[in-house]
């Protein structure tokens, strides 16, 4: 589809088809994951801490025996159990220390799923490369383990005495937004989710709607291996955020930039439309690209989590 033929983003119809065994595939992986001891280590890092915030270096075990790293931040002054929040990383982003969330009164965790810096000793397809690694086999594709690594952040928070397991949220933008959608779909314990310009939604749509990286990685791959297009399409259907939507029942917000040429807004609308939650809201920002209107949306984001996780 050429740019001149593009329909308004909110009227776009995705080409994604949900596999009949989509839920069975992920439920089986979740069951496998639940049998893996976390073996979590939590070490205070004075150099990264502040007078107000304690920062901990965390490591835990995940699918296939891969060891995952993360940062955990807590307010030093606290009483009672805290709401928990997971900050999920972008594709090129090194997961940040989530001090700002801790400053707002959360037990905040930021994980580095496999292949990210600090979690790439056992698995490192590189950048570019992560998106297309083993893309023709759902049982070995990168995001099979990557999504489970993100889902296990919830297990970490549930294991902490200082966290209220009834008040856990997830937030992220770009790849983090895609992971917020998949994690909310995989973990019913989540009480609120926010997904900015969600990546990993509408893979096969996106390679026709944009020619920018990271989706360009798929175009490059299919140019070299055109005979694999059907296998790629079939594999990616199991990892497409659009297909996780029916599993999401918690309150959720999606915010997108209508001029985003990295994660096309059409795919953000398509993912939003499939979300089963009765409490969902989409925020489209005209005049904004991959920033997804963050300069305007920051206060809305904070209020959303305050209302759903703190004012209970």
Mean pLDDT value across residues 282-299: 96
Residue 260 appears among annotated catalytic residues = yes
101-126 pLDDT per residue, tens = 999 999 999 988 887 667 667 667 77
- Model pLDDT, residue 20: 98
Residue 297 appears among annotated catalytic residues = no
- Model pLDDT, residue 90: 84
Number of domains in the chain: 1
29-83 pLDDT per residue, tens = 999 999 999 999 999 999 999 999 999 999 999 999 999 999 999 999 998 999 9
- The one catalytic residue in 62, 119, 174, 206 is 174
* Domain extent for 113: 3-310
Nearest alpha carbon to residue 105 among 130, 80, 136, 140: 80
Query: What is this structure's pTM?
Result: 0.95
Q: Where are the beta strands (DSSP E) in the chain?
A: 41-44, 53-61, 67-75, 82-88, 107-112, 163-173, 192-196, 252-257, 280-285
Answer whether residue 236 shows pLDDT above 60.
Answer: yes
- The one catalytic residue in 260, 288, 297, 308 is 260
CA distances from 272 to 43, 82, 168, 297, 298 (A): 38, 29, 21, 17, 20
Domain holding 159: CATH number?
3.40.50.1820
Answer whether residue 4 shows pLDDT above 70.
Answer: no
- The one catalytic residue in 133, 149, 206, 290 is 290
């Amino acid at each position: 589809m050429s740019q001149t033929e593009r329909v308004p983003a909110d009227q776009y119809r995705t080409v994604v088809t949900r596999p009949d065994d989509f839920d069975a595939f992920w439920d089986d992986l979740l069951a496998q994951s639940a049998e893996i001891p976390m073996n979590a280590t939590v070490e205070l890092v004075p150099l990264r801490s502040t007078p107000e915030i304690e920062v901990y270096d965390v490591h835990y075990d995940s699918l296939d025996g891969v060891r995952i790293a993360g940062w955990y931040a807590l307010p030093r002054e606290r009483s009672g159990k805290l709401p928990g929040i997971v900050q999920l990383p972008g594709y090129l982003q090194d997961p940040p220390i989530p001090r700002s969330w801790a400053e707002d009164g959360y037990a905040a965790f930021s994980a580095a799923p496999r292949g990210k810096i600090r979690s790439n000793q056992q698995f490192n397809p590189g950048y570019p490369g992560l998106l297309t690694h083993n893309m023709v086999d759902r049982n070995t594709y990168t995001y099979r383990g990557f999504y489970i690594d993100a889902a296990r952040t919830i297990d970490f928070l549930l294991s902490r005495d200082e966290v209220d397991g009834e008040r856990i949220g997830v937030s992220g933008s770009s790849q983090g937004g895609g992971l917020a959608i998949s994690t909310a779909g995989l973990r019913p314990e989540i009480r609120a989710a926010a997904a900015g310009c969600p990546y990993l939604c509408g893979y096969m749509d996106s390679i026709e709607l944009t020619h920018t990286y990271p989706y360009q990685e798929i175009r490059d791959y299919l140019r070299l291996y055109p005979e694999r297009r059907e296998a790629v399409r079939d594999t990616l259907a199991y990892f497409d955020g659009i297909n996780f939507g029916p599993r999401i029942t918690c309150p959720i917000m999606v915010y997108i930039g209508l001029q985003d040429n990295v994660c096309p807004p059409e795919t953000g609308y398509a993912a939003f439309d499939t979300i089963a939650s009765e409490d969902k809201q989409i925020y489209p920002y005209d005049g904004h690209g991959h920033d997804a209107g963050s300069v305007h949306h920051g206060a809305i984001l904070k209020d959303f989590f305050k209302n759903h996780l703190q004012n209970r």
